[in-house]
Amino acid sequence: MKVRTILAGMACAFLASCAAPNPNLELAEAIRNDQSFHQVDSMARAVIGQGLNAGSGYSQIWARDMNTFIETACEITDPKVLREAILLFFALQQPNDEMIDGYVLKPDFTWNDTCPYYSDAAPEHVGFKNTVETDQETSLIQIVGKYIRKTGDKSILQQDVAGRTVMNRMEGMVDYLLRERYNEEYGLLFGAMTADWGDVQPNDDFGCDFNELSSRAIDVYDNTMFIIALDYLKEMSDDEAAKTKWQNLRDKIAQNVRKHLWDDANKKFIPHIYIDPSPIPAGFDENKIHYHGGTTIAMEAGLLSKEEVGIVNAQMLENVRLSGMPSIGLTLYPTYPEGFFRGGMSKPYNYQNGGDWTWFGGRTIQQLIAHGYVQEAYDEIRPMIDRVIQNKGFFEWYGMGNVPSGSGHFKGSAGTLAKAIEMFREWADNQQ
């Protein structure tokens, strides 16, 4: 009798489980049938297929932009073209192993730049760099790693560029960062004070060059980009001693990010540790600012647990609600006070001072999927998808009221959305 009762109970439980809807299956079906995903993915591939420059209004090829669309580019562009474009960065690498931001053909170098970068190994091109930032070397290492993953072309690592292999040049780039942009006290990289991942400092009108007006500062974005680059270097290396070296350095940087930049009481990253005197005006508490971009890259670097990802995502959503901005592509909240930055950024919710950037919001969506928050990701990508369709393009950033601004075909935005859509589809295909 007892056995019969147990079997009957098991049968009832089985039937109940069969009758109850599986939310994952329903979500997977919605993703597979989402025509807006098909439309935006097709639009993204069309834009990225037009070339490797950053987008309309930009003739230059930038490493930090290319890093976010290289994977999609590998699916639609001749790998030889991509390989040549990547190698050209290394041809313009400087004698001290510093890497440029990007490059352009010399006749197209028409803007005022006090310090263009030249190289005998790339006589037809000129390089440029916003030196306030510290993500150029790490962006290029990530590009190489993603290119190899997508194409299988590991031979690029041994390609000779002006007497040195690509792998040797990437090792030199790490040495450059540790020599020129490393703070011994905190064991972390520094750059000039900018808004989150931005490349504009508040202290002068141009804002993009590291100079006597810069305030050296440590932030989460630069250092988590470094962690991801070290992960790729370990993956790309065939030498066990080198793998150990990259792993040890990666662990050290990761430990110091959590130790010095993570505010455990408030479950957020602090904006900056200042090496120089802080430029923040009296009465303004910078540590109340949430940096959405840097936090997202910390997710990608594996520095946040699944629970912490859920917490910071809830914070981002609340920041969006309080700000009135359209999506979690919101750069930061609250904004820096009016007049702190120069030019257009002096106004809150403009450009990097609180503008809404799909270029980073799309990466947040990717990380929500990667950490198991697929329903949340599906809900939160909706404003980004809808505005691409409405505006018939991938704008660089959006202001208050969802007003599109900047390049109308910004490939960084297209790339992050295309990858997010691909991740949604892969998740949906794995649901049974």
Rounded Cα–Cα distance for residues 82 and 99 (Å): 18
63 neighbors 139 (Cβ within 8 angstroms) = yes
Looking at residue 109, its pLDDT comes to: 85
Give the distance from CA 311 to its chain's centroid: 20
Residue 229, SS3 per DSSP: helix
Burial of 40 (0-12, 13-18, 19+ CB in 10 A): buried
In the prediction, which pLDDT does 429 show? 97
Q: Which of 390, 402, 400, 407 is nearest to 36 (CA)?
A: 390
Which of 324, 349, 322 has the alpha carbon at shortest distance from 335? 349
Classify residue 197 by burial, with Cβ atoms within 10 Å: 0-12, 13-18, 19+: buried
Cβ proximity of 125 and 103 under 8 Å: yes
Q: What is the pLDDT of residue 57?
A: 66
Measured CA to CA, the distance from residue 224 to residue 300 in angstroms comes to 8
Angstrom distance (rounded) from CA 147 to CA 236 = 11
pLDDT cut 70: percent of the chain above it: 94
Please identify every stretch of the chain with a pLDDT value under 70, giving residue numbers as ranges.
1-20, 55-57, 114
Residue 275: DSSP 8-state: S
**What's the pLDDT at 2?**
47
Task: Delineate the domains of the chain, giving CATH numbers in brackets.
Answer: 24-429 (1.50.10.10)
d(CA 294, CA 278): 20
Q: At what angle do helices 374-391 and 306-323 cross, to 10 degrees?
A: 40
- What is the C-alpha end-to-end distance of the chain, expressed in Å? 36
CA dihedral 103, 106, 112, 115 (to 10 degrees): 60
Strands 216-218 and 191-192: antiparallel
pLDDT score for 9: 54
Distance CA 123, CA 125 (A): 6
Q: Which residues of 359-393 are buried (b: 16+ CB within 10 A; e: fewer)?
A: bbbbbbbbbbbbbebbebbbebbebbbebbeeeeb
Q: Cα–Cα distance between 138 and 144 in angstroms, integer?
A: 10
